[in-house]
Structure formats: structure tokens, C-alpha cells
Amino acid sequence: MTPAIDEVRVDGARPLSAPTTEALNQVCDRAEDLDASGLVTLHVSGAPEPGWPADLTVGLVAKWERAVRRLERLWLPTVAVAAGDVGGTALDVLLAVDVRVAAPGTRLVVPVDGEATWPGMAIYRLARQAGTGRVRRAALLGEPIDAEDAVAFGLLDQIAPEPDQAVAAVAERAADIAGQELAIRRQLLLDAGRTSFEDALGSHLAACDRALRRGRTP
């Protein structure tokens, strides 16, 4: 069985804060302390109420975005279990993990405050992962994306009445995946949407060479 990082809950209904950012960095710290394998599991739910950005600063937002990016680049596989309305910090985390499992009735929500939706990196990830046309109404008007559409758009992997069973299946599949190699494959995927074939070829060949060398190591 793949060892698991302590399961972490991210409540998107709570305003972004320094402790929230520190908690996510601590998840990454624990993940990086594992030598070879493991599964990072996060439970995400909740969406902000109006007025939630009142005490935010750009500096705090930048620290949070760096923590989310750190999660997105971990050497370990990551899975999120989503339930209910998922917005704010919960949506940020959901869109940064490898595998996304949702309970029935889940909705993805870009928070609206004052005159418009929140312009954080969730909009960037939504557009990159699903395509601008599919998420336009969510990004511009705050219209929720229900679970069925999110699966069709590639934002969720599955809707599972028993999410724990789905997570166990991911853990079993990930048991033999080398962490650093997974991180390389993930980066190749992330780069594919913004890199030409010619520019990407070198990175893919380097990864192939690395895999061949590893296969020949006694």
C-alpha cells in the first residue's frame, strides 16, 4: 500500500489567510520528506461568502499562489476529494492536483465579490485545462460548473458516491510510480499547452534518455 500524507481539509468558505498558506506549505513539507513514494490526499469543499477579500493583500495572495504552485510540482501523486460548492482556496487546490474525485452534487465556483469574479490563478487553470469557451461563463459571471459538466470538461476525473474507495484505487495505482519520474511527466503535460512540438522535443527526449538509463541500472 502506498504510504499517505495525513489527509488535509481545505475549506474554501474561509478567507485566505497566512495560516491557510502555512498549512498548505506544511503539506508540501511532509510530502517532500518522503523518500520515494506516497499519496497526498486533500479534501476540498466550501466557497467564499461576499466580502471575503476585504482583508487580503497582494503579498498574501502571492504567497498563497506560490504554495499552490509548490503543490502542483510535488514529486508525489496528489488527489483531491471535492464535495458541495468548491471555490476560493478549495478550488485553487483542486485545480492543482493530479486526480480529482467528486461527491455527487459538487459544483466548481469562481467567487464573485463586488463588481466581478476573483481574478486569481484559478481562472488561468480553468482556461488551460478545460478551454476558454467552456469556462467563460464561470470565469466572467461566476456561474457554477456542476460535477457532470466538470467531468466532461476534464476538470474532474470522476463522480464517486464512495470517494474513499476511489482514493484507495488511486493509491493502489500509484504504489509503483517513482516520485521524481512522475514530476517529470507532469511537467511535460503542463508544458504541452504552451510549447511547440519542436521546442518540446528536447525535453521529451531527455526524459526518454533518463528512463532508458534508469532501466539499465542494476
* pTM exceeds 0.85: yes
- How confident is the model at residue 36, as a pLDDT? 58
Of all residues in the chain, the percent with pLDDT exceeding 70 is 93
Q: Which of 72, 79, 137, 83 is nearest to 110 (CA)?
A: 137
Backbone angles phi, psi at 159, to 5 degrees: -105, 125
Asked if the model's pLDDT at residue 35 lies above 70, the reply is: no
Query: Mean pLDDT across the stretch 82-100?
Result: 96
Q: Which three cell numbers stand for residue 145?
A: 460548473
* The CA-based dihedral angle spanning residues 9, 11, 16, 21, taken in that order and rounded to the nearest 10 degrees: 0
Helix axes 58-72, 18-33, angle to 10 degrees: 20
Do the Cβ atoms of 170 and 134 come closer than 8 Å? no
- How confident is the model at residue 132, as a pLDDT? 92
**If pLDDT is split at 50, 70 and 90, which confidence band does 121 have?**
very high
Do the Cβ atoms of 38 and 31 come closer than 8 Å? yes
Going from the C-alpha of 168 to that of each of 5, 79, 81, 163, the distances in angstroms are 13, 10, 12, 9
Q: What is the DSSP letter of 39?
A: B
**If pLDDT is split at 50, 70 and 90, which confidence band does 1 have?**
very low
Q: What is the CATH number of domain 8-174?
A: 3.90.226.10
In this structure, the number of other CB atoms found within 10 A of the CB of residue 101 comes to 26
Do the Cβ atoms of 87 and 109 come closer than 8 Å? yes
Q: What is the CA radius of gyration of the chain?
A: 18
Do the Cβ atoms of 5 and 31 come closer than 8 Å? yes
In the chain the first and final C-alpha atoms are separated, in Å, by 25
* The CA-based dihedral angle spanning residues 132, 70, 212, 199, taken in that order and rounded to the nearest 10 degrees: 40
Backbone angles phi, psi at 100, to 5 degrees: -125, 120
Tens digits of per-residue pLDDT, 39-68?
A: 899 999 999 988 788 888 999 999 999 999
